[in-house]
Every structure is written in structure tokens, then in C-alpha cells.
Amino acid sequence: MEIGIIGATGYSGVELYRLLCGHPEKPAVTLFSSSKEGQYITDEYPQLTEITNKGMLHKLSADHIKKMDIVFSCAPSGVSTEILPPLLDAGIRVIDLAGDYRLKDSVLYEKWYKKPAPPERWLHEAVYGLSEWNKEKIQSAQLIANPGCYPTAVSLALLPLLKHNLIDPLTIIADAKSGLSGAGASLAKSAHYAQANENTVIYKMNQHQHIPEMEKNFASIGKTDVTMTFSTHLVPMTRGIMATIYSELEPGKSPQNVLRALQECYEKEHFVRVHPENTMLGTKQVYGSNYCDISFSFDERTGRLTLYSVIDNLLKGAAGQALHNMNIMMDLDETAGLQLIPQFP
Ligand SMILES: NC(=O)c1ccc[n+]([C@@H]2O[C@H](COP(=O)([O-])OP(=O)(O)OC[C@H]3O[C@@H](n4cnc5c(N)ncnc54)[C@H](OP(=O)(O)O)[C@@H]3O)[C@@H](O)[C@H]2O)c1
């Protein structure tokens, strides 16, 4: 297999490269960089020394990509809109980790991302890569829009309940926390040690670009359109997302229905682990793995259900899910290169 990674020097790109270095199919991987052409990935990331060759960084060119089976793009949102259409027009299969192709509606994209939308053709052809929920389409897709990290954690927990009409979709509030690697490797004031350490910060309240992505996911499965409340926080840890999601159970539905719906949806899925009611979760139990762990509690006093969902943002929320999608597209064992046991402590 011939694989390319655009944006290989970023956090998701280098995580993907690490996973591909351990993939049983031993793919030939070409790394692309827009700023470090001619250097080696091991210059920046010495942990990869002697794991593979030194990982020369190349400038993206038509010649390089023409014989590739799959190209991953780990570039920022906005960049994918510019650089991917020529690759797609040339027939290359692409998995894009950015948000550019996740929304089918260009007006919605421009409103939330505040950038020009990608060409309509590719916006419509893109297949949303929430692996457990879209396998058939992923298998034959040319372009995968890999889900955002928050939407992965929130959607995997909520979709089974919406599918079985167990909760009132108009009562959903998702409260999420992320480690700093969620913001990528480039420097920002909010990521300075002095600002992030011993601090928890709420950001983009009611304005996060992942809101329409999640509402689209819910609308695809439920009977009504959903408008949700979504809050995001940066917490002083490196990896991890915890989503705490509140909603009201529909009349006559019970916590037993909730557990059954979650178990039924995921009993054949390797990467989603459903825990019994009232199991308290933490991000460290999925750290360094491609798992999403889910549980819930029900408060009889208020009639409110609280769901918990934890992932590693760089794996299940980015590179891990992208590789899972590649395995599905290439008809490989879904767990190939992803049998990662969470690290602790
Ligand atoms: N971090 C996460 O947890 C996470 C989760 C889900 C999705 N994502 C998405 O995945 C993508 C990568 O995220 P990240 O966190 O890995 O970001 P990052 O660490 O900032 O890396 C992005 C990389 O993109 C490359 N790049 C920048 N401008 C480019 C251009 N004009 N053309 C080509 N490449 C360019 C850069 O590498 P070079 O300078 O070497 O080209 C940079 O290292 C983003 O779209 C992000 O939204 C991230």
C-alpha cells in the first residue's frame, strides 16, 4: 500500500504516522510538509528515531501522489478546501481530518467556519466518517470527512438513544472538556504554560463550529431537527476529551432502555465500550487508545439522564478514527494497527 500524509508535522499527522509505522500491512508512507520540505520527521519528533526510515518531508506534488492508494490530509480547516480538490479530481482517495467537508451545506459551512466553502461537488460527495455508523458508505467513498473530536465523543453516546427515541431531542445539553493537544501544535496564547496550567477555561460558547456537525448527525437519525446547547472547556492535560451530556428521558422510558440501546448498537464494535449505569469515567482510561468509553446515570428526582463519553482526541477523535476508516476502505481487519491498550497512569 502507498499512503500519503499531508500536514505530517502536526499533532494528528505525526500520530497517524506512528500508527502506520506499526500497521501490519507495512504501507509505504510518504510525508508531506508545506514548511519543512527536505527535513526529516525525526528532526522534529525524535521519538520516531529508528522506528522507520528517518521520514523525509516532501513538498506535495502531483507526481508523488498519483500512485497512492489513500492520502490523509491533516492540514488546518480552510487549507483542505484549497489543496484537496485537485487530488480528488485526479481520482485519489482522500481522508480529510479537517472540518471542511463535514457539513453538506456551503452556507452553513461559511457561517460557522467563516471561510469560503469547498466546491459543491466534493461537499456533496464527501462521506462522513463516523466509523461505527457509516461503514457501508465509507467502504466505497472517494472522500472521507473524518469527524471532529467533540462530535465523535458526543455523537457516539447520543445516536443510539435518538435512534430508539429514548430522549427528548430538544433538551440536549453537551458540556465538553478537552486537553490542549486538541488545539494542535501551532502556538496560541491560550496554550502558553502560564495560561493553561492550573486553569480551566470555557471558550466559543454557542459558537463552536462542531455544533452544526453534531446537529446534522442527530437530524440524520432522529425524527426532528435538533438544536443543542454545547459548551467547551480547555483543561490542563495533554490528551483527552470528556463529554457530559444532559437530556430528558421520553415518558415511559427507563435507564434499562438506555443501557440496552447502547449495548445493542455497539455489541459488535471493537472500539466502543459501554459500561453499566453509574460507572464514573475518566479520560485516562482511554489515553493512548482508539476506544470511546460510554456510561450514564439517571436522576429520578429530575427525570434527567446524564451520559458520559470519553475519548483520546488524537486517536478516536482524529488519527485513530482516520486509520479505522482506511481499514474499512481497504477491506482490512478494522483493528489493524489500532490494537492499542490505554496507557496508565
Ligand atoms: N488535534 C486534534 O485533536 C484534532 C482532532 C480532530 C481533528 N483535528 C483536525 O485535524 C487537522 C490537523 O490538526 P492538528 O491538531 O494536527 O493541527 P496542527 O498540529 O496545527 O498541524 C497542522 C499541520 O498542517 C500543516 N499545514 C499548515 N498549513 C498548511 C498548508 N497551507 N498546506 C499544507 N499543510 C499545511 C502544518 O504542517 P507543515 O507546516 O509541515 O505543512 C501543520 O503541522 C485540523 O484540521 C484539525 O481541525 C484535530
Closest approach atom of ligand 1 to CA 35: 39
Half-sphere exposure of 139 (CA within 13 A, CB side): 10
Torsional sign, CA 215, 219, 222, 224: positive
Q: What is the DSSP letter of 284?
A: G
Question: With 80 as the cut, is the pLDDT of residue 177 above it?
Answer: yes
Residue to probe by mutation, ligand 1, list 6, 12, 100, 316, most atoms within 8 Å of CB: 12
**Residues 28, 56: contact at Cβ < 8 Å?**
no
Q: Please state, in angstroms and rounded to a whole number, the distance separating the CA atoms of residues 13 and 185.
A: 10
The residue among 206, 204, 228 whose CA lies nearest residue 217 is 228
Q: Please state, in angstroms and rounded to a whole number, the distance separating the CA atoms of residues 86 and 63.
A: 12
Residue to probe by mutation, ligand 1, list 11, 59, 150, 190, most atoms within 8 Å of CB: 11
Beta strand 241-248 with 2-6 is unpaired
pLDDT at 67: 85
Mean pLDDT (whole number) for 285-303: 97
Cell of 340: 492499542
Q: Please state, in angstroms and rounded to a whole number, the distance separating the CA atoms of residues 157 and 139.
A: 23
Closest approach atom of ligand 1 to CA 314: 3
Alpha-carbon distance values, 274 to 176, 277, 292, 315 (Å):
19, 9, 9, 18
pLDDT tens-digit readout, 273-292:
999 999 999 999 999 999 99
Let me know if 223 is exposed, middle or buried by CB neighbors in 10 A (0-12, 13-18, 19+): exposed
Question: With 80 as the cut, is the pLDDT of residue 2 above it?
Answer: yes
pLDDT at 91: 95
pLDDT at 62: 85
**Residues 32, 4: contact at Cβ < 8 Å?**
yes
Residue to probe by mutation, ligand 1, list 17, 74, 292, most atoms within 8 Å of CB: 74
99: three-class secondary structure by DSSP: coil
pLDDT at 54: 77
| Structural domains of the chain, with CATH | 2-125 (3.40.50.720), 149-313 (3.30.360.10)
Closest approach atom of ligand 1 to CA 73: 11
Q: How far is the CA of 72 from the centre of ligand 1 (A)?
A: 11
Cell of 29: 508512507
Question: With 90 as the cut, is the pLDDT of residue 51 above it?
Answer: no
Cell of 283: 479520560
Tell me if residue 149 is catalytic: yes
Mean pLDDT (whole number) for 221-231: 88
Mean pLDDT (whole number) for 32-50: 94
193: three-class secondary structure by DSSP: helix
Cell of 165: 427515541
Q: How far is the CA of 98 from the centre of ligand 1 (A)?
A: 8
pLDDT at 222: 74
Confidence of residue 295 (pLDDT cuts 50, 70, 90): very high
Q: Please state, in angstroms and rounded to a whole number, the distance separating the CA atoms of residues 207 and 212.
A: 10
pLDDT tens-digit readout, 62-94:
888 988 999 999 999 999 999 999 999 999 999
Q: How far is the CA of 185 from the centre of ligand 1 (A)?
A: 8
Catalytic residue among 74, 149, 265, 292: 149
Q: Which residues contact 116 (CB under 8 A, 6 or more apart)?
A: 81, 110
- Atom 31 of ligand 1, residue of closest alpha carbon: 79
Ligand 1 neighbours by CB, cut-off 6 Å: 6-7, 9-13, 33-36, 74-77, 79, 83, 97-99, 148-149, 181-182, 184-186, 313-314, 317-318
User: Residue 67's Cα: distance from chain center in Å?
Assistant: 27
Cell of 314: 488524537
pLDDT at 64: 86
Q: In the predicted model, what is the mean pLDDT of the chain?
A: 96
Mean pLDDT (whole number) for 315-319: 98
